[in-house]
Structure 1
Amino acid sequence: MTKKGGQKMLLRNLTTWSKCLAFLYTLTLIVCFDSGVMASSPVVLKYASTTPSVGFIADWEKWLANEIEKRTNGRVKMQIFFGGSLLKIPEGLDGVKKGVADIALIPPLWFPGELPLFSFTQVTGLAPEPDVVRNPHLMSKAVWKLWDEVPEIRKELERWNQTAFSVRTMPPYQLWSRVPIRKLSDLNKLKVRELGIRGRILFGTYGAIPTSVTPAEMYGALQKGVIDAAVASFDWGELYRLKEVARNLIVVDFNPGAPFYTINMETLNRLSPKDREILMKLGRDFTSVYADALSKYIDELMTKFKNEGVNIIRFPAEERERWKRECEPKLIDAWLKELKGVNMEEAKKVIEAFLSATGGKDVIPWRK
């Protein structure tokens, strides 16, 4: 081989090796990008919490933030803005849509016009059986079942540029009251904090005056007599100190619903496929571990309230059953009449699915 021929072969070999190295480098970049290794700084998710920065819920939201960082090896973090400092409850849906927050808890009863189908999960007050309402696992399972099997629910949230990330089961809603309530007639003329058609029908039917008050306003409203009683989450006696101004806890076991934590879809899609999968699995895991912790917390709180002298009144089962029988069919009819731009068959499908999963299908009007 001539000297010239050897040089040409060497050049060809070098060119081949250069192409191989370039290919391997490109492949490495793709793999690293997909796994998040190349990220120069972590993705920070803004979570708009509406709860105070201390307490049971705050502790578990901090757990969630730590777990996100841990499972993604620091590639994704969650910054929590407590106490409505980023978004108030009524601002949550639109705020996540516009990216003001990446994640928020969306109680559907606050958004009956925007999320009409999903709002039904918090419309019925007494239809889910008490055993289901008191069991965080059963309530969260019913809501996830609705999400997985009724595509119309998913489409509602997607129209607001968000999707379900997790479910946070709520403790049973009870009545925190300034006065004892032992029967339906005791509701007459009381000003009761309850929202929407639930307030009008569940309480207006018996002469009570439904009043809209945010969680943060309840303490002052009860203290000043603006309201006489509040339908509120069981743990709000501790979280918002309602036990100090409403010394009667009326155990009715209202349906609390199980709101979704939602996440902005654009934010979610910006994550690598691997981190999206990690995050969405964590959302389901959080539902379960939170439900376990909540069950224990409810038992601990009941003991604590008793020891602190709260007057715990268990609303008679026969009165609750009468309440359900007289009001729940009216609630369903009223909800259907107020729906706008919604296919009635889709709405009935949601009703059937949710109440079948929670033991309340005996109040469905068209089944009578």
Structure 2
Amino acid sequence: MKRIKKFYLAAMILIFVIFVFPFPPIVSSQTKTSKPLILKFSHMTPATGLQPEYLKRAATEVEKATEGRVKIEFYWSNSLVKVKENVRAVQKGIADMAWTSASYHPAEYAIALASQNVLYAPKGDDAYFIVQKYWEIWDEYKPFRDEVEKWRSTAWFFFPYDSYGCYAKKPIKKLEDFKGLRLRVSSEGIGKMVSAVKAHPEFFPASEVYTTLEKGIVDGAICGYEWGKRYSFYEVSKYLNLLNACMIGCGYGIVSFSALNKMSEKDRKVFMEIGRRFSLEYGKAVKNERLTDIQAMKDKGMILIPFSEEERKKWAELPEIKALIPNWLAQEEKAGRGEAAWGMMKIFLEKFELSHLMPQKKDKSFN
């Protein structure tokens, strides 16, 4: 009987302790009391301009939406690694996120170079349209995703690059005006486009364009209008030739699988949603400011030189330009990427209303 009384007494004491002094809650790795996950983002440009502005906005939204559990820390102007090392830096964990593109990383993103074989498109000047279509291709075409994801990363943000102009020391009104000019280009594909009109392509990263123009290393530079305003190309070139050609594509803001795996499922979902949403908002901003950027450079003293649709069509009809797509497909076939490259070119041309440029191929379906 005494044992039973002792048992009940012990039980009552235990119940009293539980209710009066409750155990502390289990703290997960994603609570406010733990250290935030800080993601290192490697970017090649300075922290000024429209693209950095929208990246910083997205980072602020990530921190807010995750209640401080996930933060993005930017390393601008190649201060973490050089731009051409970005893909592998993310793979190795040196960076968690980075700006990348097929132009700067052709070995890593081979089939994405499909876009570099098209001189211009009907909506090539619409950055919002471009980023929309890239997200559609990403969602619909698995080999595109596979090419990025084999490096242990995935797309978080698309940076649209709408059709380019040419900043130069002389006006370019006709194809003949290109002859003999040394022109900065950002990719092999654009290099072939200017070679077709007897210009001499020179590759320099965007961060070096101002210096190459200033020192006369090149006679002109083919690049975007927002870049021209951001980096004050009006200080080192007299003419802004409105080519509206040579570029339809996107760079990628990538994030490593390792970084994503450190987030809770909830934070990972909201993180990815924010990247996509802000990339679309950035595309709208680039589109809306395109004419404003051009006008701003005119106000700084640049002379605007229109390039007619007739001249663009003549350019597109040159044998060297018409050969770009079939030659690239043949090259990819030899490299063992024929089927994936064919499918990438097909969906790219469809999305950008250029299906008539797709060569015919018998006996195989690449849907």
TM-score (norm 2): 0.89
Q: Give the direction of change, closer, same or farther, for the CA distance of 1:16–1:240 in structure 2 (3 Å limit).
A: same
State whether residues 127 and 359 of structure 1, in contact with CA within 8 Å, keep that contact through their aligned partners in structure 2.
no
1:185 aligns with 2:179: no
**Mapping for residues 31-46 of structure 1, pairs under 5 Å:** 32-33=27-28, 36-37=30-31, 39-46=33-40
Deviations 1:158-216 (A, max 9, x none): 11111011112234321111111111111111111124432442111221111111212
Unpaired runs of at least 5, structure 1:
none
- 1:205 and 2:200 aligned: no
CA contact (8 A) 1:195 1:210 kept: no
SS of 2:155's equivalent? strand
Aligned equivalent of 1:87, options 81, 87, 96: 81
Q: Is the CA contact (8 Å cut-off) linking 1:127 and 1:328 kept in structure 2?
A: no
Equivalent of 1:231, from 222, 225, 234? 222
Which residue is 2:136 aligned to?
Answer: 145
CA distance in 2, matches of 1:256, 1:250: 17
Contact 1:178 1:228 in 2 (8 A): yes
Task: State TM-score, norm by structure 1.
Answer: 0.89
Aligned counterparts of 2:355 and 2:242: Cα–Cα separation in 1: 22
Q: Report the secondary structure of 2:196's partner residue.
A: helix
- 1:35-68 CA distances to partner (integer Å, 9 max, x unpaired)? x216521111111121112222222222122111
CA distance in 1, matches of 2:143, 2:13: 59
Distance in 2 between residues matched to 1:146 and 1:347, nearest whole Å:
13
Identity %: 27
Partner of 1:335: 328
Mapping of residues 62-101 of structure 1, within 5 Å: 62-101=56-95
Give how far 1:8 is off.
2.9
Q: Does 1:348 align with 2:342?
A: yes
State the match for 2:127 in structure 1.
136
1:286 aligns with 2:281: no
Q: Residue 117 in 1 paired to residue 108 in 2?
A: no
Q: 1:222 aligns with which of 213, 216, 219?
A: 213
Check the 8 A contact 1:124/1:331 in 2, yes or no. Answer: yes
Contact 1:126 1:253 in 2 (8 A): no
| Unmatched runs of 5 consecutive residues or more in structure 2 | 362-367
Q: Does 1:308 pair with 2:300?
A: yes
1:234 Cα deviation (Å)? 1.2
Name the CA shift for 1:7/1:279 in 2 (closer, same or farther; >3 Å).
same
Deviation at 1:277, TM superposition (A): 0.7
Q: Work out whether 1:3 is the aligned partner of 2:40.
A: no
Q: How many residues align?
A: 359
- Supply the RMSD in Å over aligned alpha carbons: 2.6
Pair 1:298-2:298 in alignment: no
Specify which of 156, 160, 168 is matched with residue 147 of structure 2: 156
Secondary structure of the corresponding residue to residue 134 of structure 1:
coil
SS in 1 for 2:278: helix
Among candidates 334, 353, 361, match of residue 355 of structure 2: 361
Secondary structure of 1:231's counterpart equals strand
Confirm whether residue 52 of structure 1 aligns to residue 46 of structure 2.
Answer: yes
Q: Name the CA shift for 1:277/1:81 in 2 (closer, same or farther; >3 Å).
A: same
Residue 170 of structure 2 corresponds to residue 176 of structure 1? no
Query: How far is 1:345 from its partner?
Result: 2.1
Deviation sequence 1:196-246 (CA, Å, 0-9, x none): 432442111221111111212212211222111111111121222211112
Assess, with a 3 A threshold, how the Cα gap between structure 1 residues 253 and 125 changes in structure 2: closer, same or farther.
Answer: farther
Q: Report if the CA contact (8 A) 2:330-2:338 is conserved.
A: no
Q: Secondary structure at the match of 1:168?
A: strand
The alpha carbon displacement at 1:331 in A equals 1.5
Shift, 1:302, TM fit: 2.0
- The residue that corresponds to 1:245 in the other structure is 236
AA of the residue aligned to 1:106:
T
3-state SS of paired residue (1:334): helix
Q: Do the aligned partners of residues 41 and 189 (structure 1) sit closer, same or farther apart at CA in structure 2, a change above 3 Å counting? A: same
Contact 1:137 1:292 in 2 (8 A): yes
Higher helix share: 1
